[in-house]
């Protein structure tokens, strides 16, 4: 139910779980460096905090994935921690002790997966920096003051609603099932989207904690916001389609029916089968040819049976 889901997060009465909705690492990254270390990011407690956004979306996805299908992806070392202990350890944290109350059903977990993907497409969730995700930087738009974080999180969606949406869905190409390990896909998304936070800060005067937004600032941010909304919607659909494929594979395997894995190349397998089939068929045809010209011994089924039958006592041949 999209109407119910639209306000799902606001209806929750559980304690704040903000750590899941933001990227954090030690030390925190800066623009020009990129998240993680040297262009790579892993869920290891350092390059990405154990309970940060990137780890949360990857682990929530894996709860719904099919193990046999996950093994078909290229191997990934994204998780450098005991994955099996993730959720139990998470619930032991003081400010996440009641997190399980949000995950009482698979429906709740899928809703949170969609929320996490939405958070990934809020650029300010990626960069803590000097302004604490934009909370300590004031912007003034149309005579009203907001924190930069609140302006992006709350005011932009109010100012530019769907009935006045200028985003062009044609800018995105048709998506396909994951060819990489899903965790690597999420890491790629994170690296790409974190750069958007730097674009936002680059449009503001450096060294100021209060900035009056120009018409051009608002126009450019609207364009970026609408593009990210479209991209987030596309990726939520892609993610749910991916999980549906996992469910189909799991059901198929239980019923003895193998299904095509998206990263397996049908052309490559066809060539492999042809390379195996050609010499086999040629040898078989050569054998038939020799047999036809009586250059190979002929054995009937009855003859083979007689040769293989054990001798009976008292009937030994002289």
CA distance 138 to 133: 12
Checking if the pLDDT of 51 tops 90, the result is no
* 302 vs 275: which has the higher pLDDT: 275
3-state SS, one letter per residue, for 201-235: HHCCCCCCCEEECCHHHHHHHHHHHHHHHHHHHHH
Cα(246)–Cα(262) distance, rounded to whole angstroms?
Answer: 11
Q: 140 - beta bridge partners?
A: 145, 212
What residues are paired with 147 via a beta bridge? 138
CA dist 152 and 222 (Å) reads 10
Predicted confidence band of residue 248 (pLDDT cuts 50, 70, 90): confident
Q: 235 or 10: whose pLDDT is higher?
A: 235
Arithmetic mean of pLDDT, 274-289? 79
pLDDT in tens, 144-187: 999 999 999 999 888 876 666 666 666 556 667 888 899 999 99
Rounded (5°) CA angle 197-199-201: 75
Please report the pLDDT score of residue 15 as a whole number: 42
Residue among 233, 269, 187, 198 nearest 31 (CA): 198
Cα 23 to the center of its chain, rounded Å: 16
- B/e letters for 253-282, b = 16+ CB within 10 Å, e = fewer, are eeeeeeeeeeeeeeeeeeeeeeeeeeeeee
């Amino acid at each position: 139910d999209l109407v119910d889901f639209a306000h799902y997060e606001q209806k929750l009465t559980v304690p704040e779980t903000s750590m899941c909705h933001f990227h954090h690492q030690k030390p925190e990254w800066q623009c020009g460096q990129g998240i993680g270390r040297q262009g790579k990011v892993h869920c290891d407690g350092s390059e990405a905090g154990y309970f940060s956004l990137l780890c949360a979306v990857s682990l929530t996805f894996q709860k719904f994935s099919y193990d046999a299908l996950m093994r078909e992806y290229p191997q990934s070392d994204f998780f450098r921690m005991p994955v099996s202990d993730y959720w139990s350890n998470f619930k032991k944290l003081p400010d996440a002790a009641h997190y399980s109350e949000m995950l009482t059903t698979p429906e709740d977990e899928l809703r949170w997966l969609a929320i996490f993907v939405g958070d990934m497409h809020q650029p300010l969730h990626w960069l803590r920096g000097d302004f604490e995700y934009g909370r300590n930087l004031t912007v003034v738009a149309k005579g009203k003051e907001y924190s930069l974080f609140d302006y992006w999180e709350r005011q932009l969606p109010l100012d530019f609603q769907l009935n006045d949406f200028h985003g062009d869905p044609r800018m995105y190409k048709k998506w396909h099932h994951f060819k990489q390990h899903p965790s690597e896909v999420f890491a790629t998304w994170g690296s790409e989207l974190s750069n958007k936070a730097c674009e936002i800060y680059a449009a503001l005067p450096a060294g100021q904690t209060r900035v009056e937004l120009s018409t051009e600032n608002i126009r450019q941010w609207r364009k970026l916001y609408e593009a990210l909304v479209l991209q987030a919607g596309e990726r939520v659909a892609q993610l749910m389609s991916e999980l549906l494929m996992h469910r189909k594979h799991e059901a198929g395997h239980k019923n003895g029916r193998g299904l095509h894995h998206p990263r397996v190349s049908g052309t490559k397998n066809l060539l492999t089968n042809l390379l195996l089939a050609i010499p086999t068929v040629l040898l078989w045809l050569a054998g038939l040819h020799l047999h036809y010209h009586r250059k190979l011994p002929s054995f009937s089924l009855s003859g083979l049976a007689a040769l293989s039958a054990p001798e009976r006592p008292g009937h030994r041949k002289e």
